[in-house]
Homo-oligomer: A and B are copies of this chain.
Amino acid sequence: MFNFATLKTKMKKDVSTEQKIKDAARKVFMTKGFSGCTTREIAKSVGINVALLNYYFRSKGKLFELILEAALSDFIESMVDVFQQDLPLEDKTRMLIDKEFEFLRKHPELPLFIHAGLNQESDAELDQSKFLGRLHKTGIFEECEKAQAQGHMRKVNMINVTLLFMSNCHFPIMSKKLICGIYQIDDNEHEARLNEHKEIVKEMLINYLFPNTNKHA
């Protein structure tokens, strides 16, 4: 008789142990950082032995690099999604900010983890070069250059454009502890400020980058 299970050669459980380790490692690394946690802590949260962690991944550092690279990829991919939409550049801009705030609300630890992780002196330097290619393939750079040549978009270096977006989308999420601490507000109030901030950022960036089409916005 036909055995369905033989099809999935490597999947013996609902979720493979390897994936479960990755998930747990991601969560722990995100909140505590590389040197802020132990391999035993990760293993315990999965419910497995420490040695199994080194059986699947060679070392703590190797596992961390994997998680960091995946996080960076998520980051880029959340932008790529928007760039690939068939929309006017200005609408893409609005959509990018909306999606970015939405994405970061679900993964608020991501930005700080990535920046802190990159500053960590890792054994092997992380190869980020592929991400540039990933962005290039969406044609967003050419689209901006064209809009700049036609006077629709303000002539600003693409690195500075990137900085404008990331600054205004990522920082408000990363700075939660600092803002709540200084202004003595709770999570609800911070959430409200964040919602308002999204609209502020949208208007400010659109007005700055597309001044001709939005003179009196």
Interface residues of A (CB under 8 A from B): 31-36, 76, 112, 114-116, 118-121, 126, 128-129, 131-132, 135, 156-157, 159-160, 162-164, 166-168, 170-172, 174-175, 177-179, 181-185, 193, 196-197, 200, 203-205, 207-208
Main SS at interface, chain A: helix
> A208 to nearest B CB, angstroms?
4
The answer for the CA separation of A181 and B159 in the assembled complex, in Å, is 12
A135: B residues at CB distance < 8 A: 182
Q: Tell whether, in the assembled complex, residue A132 and residue B208 are in contact, meaning their CB atoms are under 8 Å apart.
A: no
Q: Tell whether, in the assembled complex, residue B119 and residue A177 are in contact, meaning their CB atoms are under 8 Å apart.
A: yes
Q: Oligomeric state, in number of copies?
A: 2
Q: Tell whether, in the assembled complex, residue B159 and residue A183 are in contact, meaning their CB atoms are under 8 Å apart.
A: yes
The answer for the CA separation of A153 and B183 in the assembled complex, in Å, is 21
A203: B residues at CB distance < 8 A: 208
9 residue pairs, one from A and one from B, having the closest CB atoms? A128-B181, A167-B171, A118-B177, A171-B171, A204-B208, A35-B35, A35-B36, A167-B167, A116-B116
Q: Tell whether, in the assembled complex, residue A174 and residue B115 are in contact, meaning their CB atoms are under 8 Å apart.
A: yes
A200: B residues at CB distance < 8 A: 156, 160, 164
Q: Tell whether, in the assembled complex, residue A193 and residue B160 are in contact, meaning their CB atoms are under 8 Å apart.
A: yes
A116: B residues at CB distance < 8 A: 33, 112, 116
A171: B residues at CB distance < 8 A: 163, 166-167, 170-171
Name A112's contact: one of B34, B119, B132 (CB within 8 Å): B119
Give me 30 A-to-B residue pairs in the complex whose CB atoms sit less than 8 angstroms apart, sorted by A's number. Answer: A31-B119, A32-B121, A33-B36, A35-B35, A115-B174, A115-B175, A118-B177, A118-B181, A119-B177, A126-B181, A128-B178, A128-B181, A128-B182, A129-B181, A129-B184, A132-B182, A132-B184, A157-B193, A157-B196, A159-B185, A160-B193, A160-B196, A163-B171, A163-B197, A167-B168, A167-B171, A167-B175, A203-B208, A204-B204, A204-B205
